[in-house]
Amino acid sequence: MSAFPLTRRAALAAFGVVALSPAVAVRSALAQPNVRFRKIVVDVTPLRASVGDPTAAWVQQALPGALAQSLGAYIAPGDPHGATLIARIDDLYLGPNFGPGFFGGSQDTINGTLVIKGPRGGVAAETPIRAITSYHQTPVDQPLRVESNYWRVVWLAQAFAGWAPRELGL
């Protein structure tokens, strides 16, 4: 038995820390890429084919601003070396006004894909996103059904945009 029983363990632990420190530094550098988006495009063609207007028009109106807000640090309009972000919305579902959830709540869902095109037009990445929001009907929603549906779509667009930075690895 040696006089310093923890020396071997301490040496192995120190070696492990030294060996892993460059990997941790590389991983943290990859977690914050130097990507810049020169343009945000919202494609609601699949959504318009499945649910029609005004829902598709509402998404097309609300999503660019929500994406610009959530990706603000990565937006560089007019940058010739910047990528183009295309948000293709495939499906949107608004749950029933008085749903089966707690106190009549229901879930609204939006599905789509974020496509990143490089400066030369090639597809660099495609990332699917699904966002869900909760909806609880209020007494005002019954007579103002169109307006309440509009706000439900806006909230879904904001939730979709809120997931974008994380799903893109930014």
Could you report the per-residue pLDDT of 72-85, keeping only the tens digit for each? 888 888 888 888 89
Domain 36-167 fold: Double Stranded RNA Binding Domain (3.30.160)
Domain boundaries, the chain: 1-31, 36-167
Write the DSSP assignment of 116-149 as a string of letters: EE-TTS-EEEEEEEEEEEEE---TTTTTTHHHHH
Instruction: Return the structure tokens found at 103.
Output: 């106190």
Alpha helix positions (H), the chain: 7-31, 45-50, 55-70, 145-167
In the numeric block, the tokens 């929500």 are attached to 66
Tens of pLDDT, residue by residue over 49-105, are 998 889 999 999 999 999 999 998 888 888 888 888 999 999 999 877 665 655 667
Q: Can you give the pTM of this predicted structure?
A: 0.72
CA distance 147 to 151: 6
